[in-house]
Chain A
């Protein structure tokens, strides 16, 4: 086992050493004394929960956060590195492939590979040479496609290969892949991992960030585990004894602080059920984002949805909420014993559903509005006498919720753009509380909010449940789900893979269910 920060004399064996990296954002340390040592010619995996600091670390490495905005040293190929931007790190052969592909759909493979780096002859682009080189690069990544094909006409798996070809065209020494297989099916994933192993044989070092622990286990030579901005440990896979359980243990070792208000749930009958819910991706018709999912909610119950980003949690919630995402294929919603059909959001609101979005700024708020207009935005019918908005009523409603949720603002005339994240979230919460829903779906309700405000929001959620409402909490933070939920569903690749009661649930079980296809797992699904 390689101890982090161990002062090894032979720097030569390491392609990259990041030592004691600390990166602060206002009020928070995203990285605290993080060490990362990558040997020449290995595949080095970085594991950690969402928010553990993986992406931040890679941004420090590649110069997205320029030298000087962080503390600590980077030694690359034996030389101290001080990258000021991505161009400088790329010039040294460090290339990142992001989860969201940076390809331009309308351009051809060749044009994408050489974008920003076009081979020229006497000032004009030398397309003949570009195409010849592109062919060669495609051969190296094992992609049999005409280089003139437009990116939009090839699948996501092949697009990943084009990204790698693009990296190769830049003489890559250190290839960083951020969740490369997140959007790929099994065979594409296999091909991609095979390619990365091939590149290793040719001396190209890779850093692999992935949530899929089985992939990491099978391909990585070393694994560094991050948690809450700290390096926990670096595991040497070659030394043996490293399996998924070992990785999970490192990832979750956090102790649960008492961050939740005391709460005794008062749970009633099942009143809301979704059965065999299947939804298609809005653009890609053959892709299903929800595959025959079923779940139920009881009165007074807080139900957690656990899953990795992109697992289909948000898609599921939004498609149930008046089909506001994707294309409905099949499935039934049963509320209070009757099937209801919700074709749009206003029907969903009328039927007693509320959905607080994960993306507060771009989906939840009109930043031009003030607090009072936002508070009543989803419940205008309740304060409008037919068509005319009663402004006195609007004001008093907004004021009531401001006091109830202790939103910090000089008055309800304050623009929401001026509020802090926590207070904005309280305003959005008041918007949904004002519609008085029976079922409130909260998608990442505490994202980007400080600890004090989180505690308050947990209290609000519990109070809503105590009023007999059903609450669904979608969260990427497992401690939050464990602390809040009476029952947790796990979701993986568009399927509900498990259902755990408060007593059964722990982080290890959740992570396992969140990262495993349903066919190979049956632990813990005990519908009550």
Chain B
């Protein structure tokens, strides 16, 4: 009888009781998983480094707006991509799908004469259909997503050039506002952009409320509870960061404020962060990616999940496409080139696992911002595209290598735990429900 003896307690062992956290100041502030904040810390360090290196041009209103405007469509893609990767797939077609949707929207409005909002709806519908097409092959026929989306990459690039005759088509003003506009001035003249200030204050309130609620929940569930002062310090620190960012966006050049694409991004992050971390659907996505067979034997309909995840990716590619053509004021035959690579890099830097089951929306946003800040900082210093590509490649490799190395050490993955899903310490999930 080959029984393995494990360390299970004798039936009479006392049940372990929940512990209260103590220890050093640092430990109390950051908790047991100091590494959790690894990539977020790295982002802060990179920002500060460029702030110093560029002599203060990194954190100016102008540059921050550029950063957000110029990267929000990639970050939107990363939201969809992280779900695809959590479920254990990959999507190589997002750039081409976005290009196809973009040209359809531009042509239908500019040449077809339909109203701009109808063009947007048409674009989203096309994205949805493309997603259903690809989801069908992946989920119900069982072709690996790598192959299906590689095919999609070719098909929809060709479709873009077919629809647009390989030409660029301009888009109307309304779309340009969505892709590159700012929150309007309303209310009394305070010297700040009122809507931006309002957003910042709302975010602060959400953070405070969220942290407080999760603390109360923790107390009620008798799980680990931070000392009160730790919670307060966290609230103050987070609010300070938010207010600083708000100040920068509210005091930019005349006519600028918080960018509309940024607003779209924030809404999508909140919605999808909530879906992935708090809903049954989200649980099922993680379950399918973590162990498909175990998920199926627990009643998860894995084919449905795979279909939805792949379909959703193309829908978000359509959103990204509309934001992008608005910003660049036209849709062209080479839009979306290499977008899939940027999105995938953001997701992996953000702590997702190639084997699936691991990853968060918030982590992917951090990963995307690391890449964006690098890009922007190197540009500000006038570094050429050659060195920028090499730097970004090395950063991607280093981030994932560090993660792999940490796993091999038998410790919990740095980045995997970065923003542990379901963790009560994570501000963005707290606000999403606040």
Hey, which bits of chain A sit against chain B, CB under 8 A? 25-28, 30, 51-53, 56, 228-229, 318, 321-322, 324, 344-346, 348-349, 355, 357, 362-369, 373, 377-378, 380-381, 384, 387-389, 391-392, 395-396, 399, 403, 406, 408-413, 415, 420-423, 431, 448-456, 477
CB distance from A260 to the nearest CB of B (A): 14
A31 CB → nearest B CB, Å: 10
A362 vs B4: C-alpha distance when bound (angstroms): 18
Residues of B within 8 A of A392 (CB): 217, 220-221
Q: What A residues does B7 contact at CB under 8 A? A: 408, 420
Which residues of A lie under 8 Å from residue B293 when comparing CB positions?
362-363
Which of A318, A365, A410, A451 lies in contact with B3, CB distance below 8 A? A451
A373 to B140, CA, bound (A): 27
Scan residues 288-311 of chain B and give those whose CB is less than 8 A from a CB of chain A. Answer: 290-291, 293-301
Q: Max chain B CB contacts within 10 Å: which of A355, A413, A455? A: A413
Q: Give the residue of B2, B13, B222, B291 whose beta carbon is less than 8 angstroms from that of A408.
A: B13
- Check B11 for interface membership: any CB of A closer than 8 A: yes
B279 and A420 form a contact (CB under 8 A): no
B301 touches A367 (CB 8 A): no
The 8 tightest CB contacts between A and B, nearest first, are A27-B5, A420-B6, A366-B290, A422-B8, A346-B299, A378-B298, A450-B5, A366-B291
Query: A421 vs B15: C-alpha distance in the bound complex, in angstroms?
Result: 18
Nearest chain-B residue to A386 (Cβ)? Answer: B280
Tell me if A349 and B8 are in contact (CB < 8 A): no
| Chain A: minimal CB distance from B353 (Å) | 8
Near A by CB (< 8 A), chain B positions 253-295 give 278-284, 286-287, 290-291, 293-295
Residues of chain A within 8 A of B422, CB atoms compared: 373, 391
> Chain A residues with Cβ under 8 A from B166's Cβ?
none
Interface members, chain B 1-34 (any A CB < 8 Å): 1-11, 13, 15-16, 18-19
Instruction: Give CA–CA (A16, B294) in the complex, Å.
Output: 44
- Shortest B151–chain A CB gap in Å is 24
Is B427 close to A, CB under 8 A? no
A450 touches B291 (CB 8 A): no
B371, CB-defined interface residue at 8 Å = no
**Contact yes or no, A450 B3, CB < 8 A:** yes
Taking a contact as CB atoms under 8 Å apart, the answer to whether A452 and B11 are in contact is: yes
**Nearest opposing residue in chain A for B221, CB measure:** A395
Q: Do residues A411 and B224 form an inter-chain contact, with CB atoms below 8 A?
A: yes
Report A-chain residues with C-beta under 8 Å of the C-beta of B1.
51-52, 228-229, 477
What is the CA–CA distance of A512 and B373 in the complex, to the nearest angstrom? 73
B4 touches A387 (CB 8 A): no
Provide the bound-state CA to CA distance between A447 and B218, in Å: 36
Closest to A31 in B: B2
Q: Apart from A368-B290, A368-B358, A453-B8, what 18 extra A-B contacts exist at CB < 8 Å?
A: A26-B5, A27-B4, A346-B299, A346-B300, A367-B290, A368-B357, A369-B290, A380-B280, A381-B280, A388-B278, A388-B280, A389-B280, A408-B16, A448-B3, A449-B4, A449-B6, A450-B8, A477-B1
B291 lies within 8 A of A367 (CB): yes
When chains A and B are docked, how far (Å) is the Cα of A122 from the Cα of B301?
Answer: 56
Q: What's the Cα separation between A126 and B219 when bound, in Å? A: 74
In the complex, B223 has a CB within 8 A of chain A: yes
What are 8 A-B contacts with C-beta separation under 8 Å?
A27-B5, A229-B1, A346-B301, A363-B297, A391-B217, A408-B13, A412-B223, A477-B1
How far is A422 from B217 in the complex, measured between Cα atoms in Å?
30
Q: What distance in Å separates the Cβ of B357 from its nearest Cβ neighbour in chain A?
A: 5
CA distance A413 to B10 in the complex (A): 22
- How many of B's residues come within 8 Å of A, CB to CB? 46
Residue of A nearest to B413 (CB): A368
Contact in complex: A409, B297 (CB < 8 Å): no
Q: Determine whether the beta carbon of B278 is less than 8 Å from that of A389.
A: yes
B2, A56: Cβ atoms closer than 8 Å: yes
Given contacts A362-B291, A362-B293, A368-B290, contact A450 B4 (CB under 8 A): yes
- Residues of A near B280 (CB, < 8 A) are 380-381, 384, 387-389
Q: Which residues of A contact B283 (CB under 8 A)?
A: 373, 377, 380, 389
CB contacts (< 8 Å) of B300 on chain A: these are 345-346
A525 to B174, CA, bound (A): 81
Query: How far, in Å, is A514 (CB) from chain B's closest CB?
Result: 17
A56 to B1, CA, bound (A): 11
Within 8 Å CB of A28, what residues of B? 2-5
Q: Give the shortest distance, in Å, between B243 (CB) and chain A (any CB).
A: 29
Are A403 and B6 closer than 8 Å at their CB atoms? no
Complex CA gap A409/B5 in Å reads 17
Q: Which listed residue, B16, B294, B357, touches A364 by the CB 8 Å rule?
A: B294
Residue numbers in B under 8 Å from A456 (CB-CB): 11
Contacts of B298 in A (CB 8 A): 345, 349, 377-378, 431
Bound Cα distance from A399 to B2, whole angstroms: 32
Q: What's the nearest-Cβ distance from chain B to residue A223, in Å? A: 20
B291 partner, pick from A30, A365, A423, beta carbons under 8 A: A365
* B279, A395: Cβ atoms closer than 8 Å: no
From B6, B223, B279, B357, contact of A411 by CB (8 A): B223
Residues of B within 8 A of A380 (CB): 280, 283-284
What CA separation (Å) do A455 and B412 show in the bound complex?
Answer: 32
B2 contacts across to A, CB distance below 8 A: 25, 28, 30, 51, 53, 56, 229
Min CB–CB distance B139 → chain A (angstroms) = 15
Q: How far is the CA of A52 from the CA of B3 in the complex (A)?
A: 11
A321 to B297, CA, bound (A): 9
Give A387 to B8 CA distance when docked, in angstroms: 36
Contact check, B15 vs A365: say whether CB atoms are below 8 A apart.
no
Chain A residues with CB below 8 A from B5, complex form:
26-28, 450
Distance of A420 Cα from B282 Cα, bound (Å): 28
Min distance, Cβ B146 to any Cβ of chain A, angstroms: 21
A344 and B301 contact, CB distance less than 8 A: yes
Does the CB pair B16–A410 fall under 8 Å? yes
Q: Given A399-B221, A411-B18, does the pair A357, B6 have CB atoms closer than 8 Å?
A: no
B6 and A423 within 8 A (CB): yes
Q: How far is the CA of A392 from the CA of B16 in the complex (A)?
A: 20
Bound state CA distance, A212 and B325, in angstroms?
72
Among the listed A26, A321, A408, which residue makes an inter-chain contact with B8, where contact means beta carbons less than 8 Å apart?
A408
Q: For the complex, what is the distance from the CA of A449 to the CA of B1, rounded to whole Å? A: 11
The answer for the CA separation of A423 and B18 in the assembled complex, in Å, is 18
The interface bits of chain B over 146-157 (1 if a CB of A lies within 8 angstroms of the residue's CB, else 0) are 000000000000
A-chain residues with CB within 8 Å of residue B286 when the two chains form the complex: 366, 368-369
Q: Nearest Cβ distance between residue A393 and chain B, in whole angstroms?
A: 10
Q: How far is the CA of A344 from the CA of B293 in the complex (A)?
A: 13
A364 to B3, CA, bound (A): 19
Q: How far is the CA of A380 from the CA of B300 in the complex (A)?
A: 10
Who on chain A is nearest to B6 by CB?
A: A420
Decide if A355 touches B297 in the complex (CB within 8 Å): yes
User: Which chain B residue has the least Cβ–Cβ distance from A229?
Assistant: B1
Nearest CB of chain B from residue A108's CB, rounded to whole Å: 27
**Least Cβ distance of B274 to chain A in Å?**
8
Chain B residues with CB under 8 Å of A412's CB are 223
Contact B279 A388 (CB under 8 A): yes
Residues in B with CB closer than 8 Å to A357 are 294, 297
**What is the CB-to-nearest-CB distance from A419 to chain B, in angstroms, rounded to a whole number?**
9
B3 partner residues in chain A, CB cutoff 8 A: 28, 448-451, 454
Nearest residue (CB) in A for B423 is: A413
Q: Is the CB–CB distance between B296 and A324 below 8 Å?
A: yes
B190-241 with Cβ < 8 A to chain A? 217, 220-224
- Are the CB atoms of B294 and A455 closer together than 8 Å? no
Whole-angstrom distance between the alpha carbons of A310 and B2 in the complex?
19
* Cβ–Cβ < 8 Å partners of B18 in chain A: 410-411
Q: Are A366 and B357 CB-contacts (below 8 A) given A25-B2, A228-B1, A421-B4? A: yes
CB distance from B82 to the nearest CB of A (A): 15
